[in-house]
Structure 1
C-alpha cells in the first residue's frame, strides 16, 4: 500500500463572459467581467504510481466561487495533472473541474499553467498563473474544442495564499516513515520537473538571444 499526498490550493482572479481571450478576459473593468476563484484540496492517491505516470494525475475536490454564476459552487468531479510534457522545455499543469451553477446548469472550468523558460527565470509567474476557461456542460478531456466557451480569464495564487498552501501538505499511509517518504518524493518530483525546464541545456542561450 502506497502513501497519499494532499495539499490545498486557492487561486483567484477574473473571467469575462463571452470572451475567449485569456488576457482580455482577466481585465476586471470589462463588461461581463466577474471575480472567479477556487479552493481545492488536491490528492495524489498513490505516490509511487504518480511518480511513474507521465501524466501525473491527481484528484481535486473543493469549490469554485463566482457570484455571477451563483456564489459558492461545489466541485462534483475534479482532475489535476502536474507537469505534463507538451514539447521539449515546456510543461503544463492542468485543471478540470465539473460543477453546477446556481440554477443547476452543468459547467466545466478548465485551466492550464505554462511552465517554460521563455522570459528568464520566471518560475514564480509560470507556476502561479492559471489560464482559465469556463465551458458549457460537463466536458470530458479531449472534448474541449467542441465545447461552448462561457467565459475566459486568468486567476493567480497570491503570495500569502502560497505561503499558506505550503503548510497544508499532508500524507496518509502505512506508517510515519512511508508518509514522510511520500512527502519527500512529491517534493523531489516537483523540483526535478522544474529543473528540466529552467536548467535545460540551451535555455539560457535562447533567452539571451531573445533579449
Structure 2
C-alpha cells in the first residue's frame, strides 16, 4: 500500500490587473484593491512515486480570496510541483489553480517559486516568494504562453504562517512506521533538492528565471 503526505500552506500579497511585470504588480494599490490570498492543502498521494518523478507532482485543494475577483472562491482543481529542474542549479516550485470569479468566469492562477543561489544562501526568500499570474480561462499546463494575462504580482508566506504550516504535516499509510517513513522521505527529498540548488559545485551563471 502507498503512503501519502499532506500539508497546508497559506500565502498572500497583491496582484495588479493588466500588469505583466511581477514586481510592479506586487505593489499595493492606494485604494487597497488587488490583495490576493490562497489557502491550500497540498497532498502527495504516493511518496515513493513522488520521489522518483522529476516533476514531483502533488494535488492542491482549498480556496482563493480576493475582493477584486469576487471574494472567497473555491479552487476547482489544483496542481503543485516541488523543485522542478529548469537548468543546472535552478529549480521552480510550481502552482496551478483553477477557480472562477464571483460571476462564474473561469480563471487560472499560475505561480512559481524561483529556487536559485543568486544572492547567497537566500533559501527563505526563494521558498516563500511566489511569482503569480491570473490567466483567463482554465488553462492547461503548457498553454500559458497563448493565454490572456488578467493580472500579475507576488505573494509570500509570512513567518508566522510558515511556523503554522510546519504543524500541519500529516501522513497516511498502512501503519505508523509507514507514515513516519513517508514524512521522513519528504523531508529528505526537500533537503536534497535545496542542496542541489545552493551547494552544487560548478554552478553556472545565467538568466534569473523571472520573466515578464
Deviations 1:135-170 (A, max 9, x none): 000000000010000000000000000000000000
1:77 aligns with 2:77: yes
Question: Contact 1:37–1:64 (CA<8 Å) still a contact in 2?
Answer: yes
Q: Aligned equivalents of 2:19 and 2:165: distance in 1?
A: 30
Structure 2 equivalent of residue 144 of structure 1: 144
1:152-167 superposed matches below 5 A: 152-167=152-167
Structure 1 equivalent of residue 2 of structure 2: 2
Structure 2 equivalent of residue 197 of structure 1: 197
Report how many residues are paired.
206
Question: Contact 1:16–1:30 (CA<8 Å) still a contact in 2?
Answer: no
1:122 aligns with 2:128: no
Scaled by the length of structure 2, what TM-score is found? Answer: 0.94
1:57 aligns with 2:57: yes
Deviation at 1:68, TM superposition (A): 1.0
Q: Aligned equivalents of 1:150 and 1:33: distance in 2?
A: 15
Q: Aligned equivalents of 1:160 and 1:179: distance in 2?
A: 26
Question: Contact 1:17–1:33 (CA<8 Å) still a contact in 2?
Answer: no
Question: Contact 1:56–1:83 (CA<8 Å) still a contact in 2?
Answer: yes
Deviation at 1:2, TM superposition (A): 1.2
Q: CA RMSD in A?
A: 1.6
Deviations 1:85-104 (A, max 9, x none): 00000000000000000000
Scaled by the length of structure 1, what TM-score is found? Answer: 0.95
Name stretches of at least 5 consecutive residues in structure 1 with no aligned partner.
207-211
Q: Aligned equivalents of 2:30 and 2:129: distance in 1?
A: 20
Structure 1 equivalent of residue 209 of structure 2: none
1:24 aligns with 2:19: no
Q: Aligned equivalents of 1:33 and 1:153: distance in 2?
A: 12
SS at match of 2:34: strand
Question: Contact 1:16–1:31 (CA<8 Å) still a contact in 2?
Answer: no
Deviations 1:114-151 (A, max 9, x none): 00000111000000000000000000000001000000
Question: Contact 1:84–1:92 (CA<8 Å) still a contact in 2?
Answer: yes
Structure 1 equivalent of residue 109 of structure 2: 109
Q: Aligned equivalents of 1:75 and 1:157: distance in 2?
A: 19
SS at match of 2:178: helix
- Structure 1's consecutive aligned runs of 4 or more residues displaced over 6 angstroms after TM superposition are none
Name stretches of at least 5 consecutive residues in structure 2 with no aligned partner.
207-212
Deviation at 1:29, TM superposition (A): 2.6
